[in-house]
Structure 1
């Protein structure tokens, strides 16, 4: 089935963080603290998704204060940090929300994402994902992680659901 048809069924979008919501880089300040870089286009895309009624969750392998703050700023309540094994949290989300695999999309970039990606209805990869992730993805962004790839994925889903134009009209005036 074409990715656009799969996207039309999506009710929940799950995002990885490092390499997807961020560029995957580790930035150190003068005191040796690690910081993260997020893209405002991705953040606005997340707001569009929420406005359109698309549910969002974040499952990430690391636990970092900057990520927690950004997720809170964006109003994403389903946040699972420090999860090297993501599948149990995916299954928890399915059960809690009463969803089927085909109603979920996942944006990933690396091997840690694969166990969930092979289950979801629409596995999505960022442009700079590992080659093995491309092999299991049904959609690949033209942008790299941390540089608007999440916005692009959200726009793809909302367009497939016939919701993107209404959001465009509202925001663009």
Structure 2
């Protein structure tokens, strides 16, 4: 698919994409989520390639705010009941078409965005309808490297992978010396 080369924005859901979808509640009722460091590196790679990043999620969570801050995610849209409207508005605000934006989601509340995005994606364990609508289905489950694989695929399609990789390798060489 040639559309991958046009991508300027990577947007994604949280529960089921950045996490495995499990929500833990502590004794005090506090919710906790686990995030994959590999997926975090994927977001860093996307940003290193000059892509904008965005979270669009139906829940509001201080853990999401913290993770987004740690990863320098450009846009964080929480408590979003209409993800397609939020995605469309974000594209409009950035002056890009939805065809220049990619979205990864895993469940029915992501389906419209996956279907309308220039490049919709799903983790391996996304619901059947989302996987069927997606242009890319990861071999990995949500929260276990799906987002990282997706980012690598996009960067390779854009012929940016070698450049991004060499920047990381030269940075590692400086640390090793």
TM-score (norm 2): 0.92
Q: 1:80 aligns with which of 61, 73, 77?
A: 77
State the shift of 1:172 in Å.
Answer: 2.8
- Is 1:55 the counterpart of 2:52? The answer is yes
CA positional deviation for 1:9: 1.1
Is 1:71 aligned with 2:65?
Answer: no
CA contact (8 A) 2:52 2:74 kept: no
Query: How far is 1:28 from its partner?
Result: 2.2
- Cα RMSD (Å): 1.1
State the alpha-carbon separation in 1 of the partners of residues 99 and 85 from structure 2.
17
Displaced runs of 4 or more, over 6 A: none
What is the alpha-carbon distance in structure 2 between the residues aligned to residue 172 and residue 147 of structure 1?
24
Find 2:21's aligned residue among 3, 24, 33.
24
State how 1:89-108 maps to structure 2 within 5 Å: 89-108=86-105
Q: Which residue of 2 aligns with 1:116?
A: 113
- 1:15, distance to aligned residue in structure 2 (A): 0.7
Q: Deviations over 1:145-169 (max 9, x none)?
A: 0011111111011110111111212
- Superimposed CA distance per residue, residues 124-157 of structure 1 (whole angstroms, 9 cap, x where no aligned partner): 1100000011110111001110011111111011
Q: What count of residue pairs does the alignment treat as equivalent?
A: 170
Higher helix residue share: 2
**Over residues 18-72 of structure 1, what are the superposed CA-to-partner deviations in whole Å (9 max), with x where a residue is unaligned?**
0000110011223331100000111111111111001111100100110111011
Q: What are the superposed Cα offsets for residues 57-111 of structure 1, whole Å, 9 maximum, x if unpaired? A: 1100100110111011111131110112112211211111111121111001000
Structure 2 gaps of 5+ residues are 171-177
